[in-house]
Amino acid sequence: MAARRLLVLMLVVLAISTVGAALLAPRPEPAPDAATTTAEESTSPGTARQAPGRLIDASVETGAQRAEAIRLRPGDQLELTVRSQITGQIEIVRFGALEDVGPNEPAHFSLLLGEPGRFAVRLVGSGRIVARVEVSAHGKPPRGASGSDQGRERRRTAREADRLSE
């Protein structure tokens, strides 16, 4: 008898809570009219749309004879892995990034490169450059450089970038 009363009471509570939830539920808003206009993205002739950045995966060995050049465009994201047979640290001074590296522990860097420049990837302690990250607009030489002046301009820019990143 008591079990029946408890069962009836539970069913009444369930019915009341269901009705209450249905009455208090937020009502969906009606869909906008078909005649409604939306604002379109306007691009003036003077504003060029930039291409979206790419995700670039690169891997570098510290034991290589020459520093590897990693060329990117502004807006690209670089996922850089540096491997080494000796234990140490790898730094990219321009970004304030410092990672440990070892025989079984590569250093990983994730960088979003927004502006042009050259950034050295160095082995801490020895100061040896293991890679250079070069960010420049695709296919555009430095302003004012032409022919044989381009190489001279690149070397001067590289020296300035190295001096600034120290």
Instruction: Check whether 137 has a pLDDT greater than 90.
Output: no
Mean pLDDT over residues 55-79, rounded?
87
> Is residue 35 assigned to a domain?
no
Phi, psi dihedral angles at 38 (to 5 degrees)? -110, 150
**Which carries the bigger pLDDT value, residue 139 or residue 48?**
48
> Is residue 29 assigned to a domain?
no
Pairing of strands 129-135, 68-72: parallel
CATH number, residue 93: 2.60.40.420
Q: Lowest-pLDDT range, 66-80, 91-105, 106-120, 135-149?
A: 135-149
pLDDT, position 150: 43
> Is residue 98 assigned to a domain?
yes
> Is residue 74 assigned to a domain?
yes
pTM over 0.85: no
Note the residue count of the chain: 166
Phi, psi dihedral angles at 105 (to 5 degrees)? -140, 90
Answer for the pair 137, 146: CB distance below 8 angstroms, yes or no.
Answer: no
Residue 120: name the closest of 143, 97, 152, 138 by CA.
97
Mean pLDDT over residues 106-129, rounded?
88
State the residue range of the domain holding 69. Answer: 55-139+159-165
Chain mean pLDDT for the chain:
75
Sheet holding 88-92, edge to edge: 68-72, 129-135, 117-123, 88-92, 97-101
**Which carries the bigger pLDDT value, residue 146 or residue 55?**
55
Could you tell me the pLDDT band of residue 68, with boundaries at 50, 70 and 90? Answer: confident
> Is residue 25 assigned to a domain?
no
pLDDT, position 42: 47
- Tally the domains of the chain: 1
> Is residue 27 assigned to a domain?
no
Q: Report how far apart the first and last C-alpha atoms of the chain are (Å, whole number).
A: 87
CA 73 to chain CA centroid, Å, is 13
The one-letter amino acid code at 118 reads R
> Is residue 10 assigned to a domain?
no
pLDDT, position 148: 40
Q: Which residue has the tokens 């301009």?
A: 153
> Is residue 68 assigned to a domain?
yes
pLDDT, position 30: 66
- pLDDT 10s digits, 50-65: 567 788 898 989 888 8
Could you tell me the pLDDT band of residue 93, with boundaries at 50, 70 and 90? Answer: confident
Instruction: Check whether 43 has a pLDDT greater than 70.
Output: no
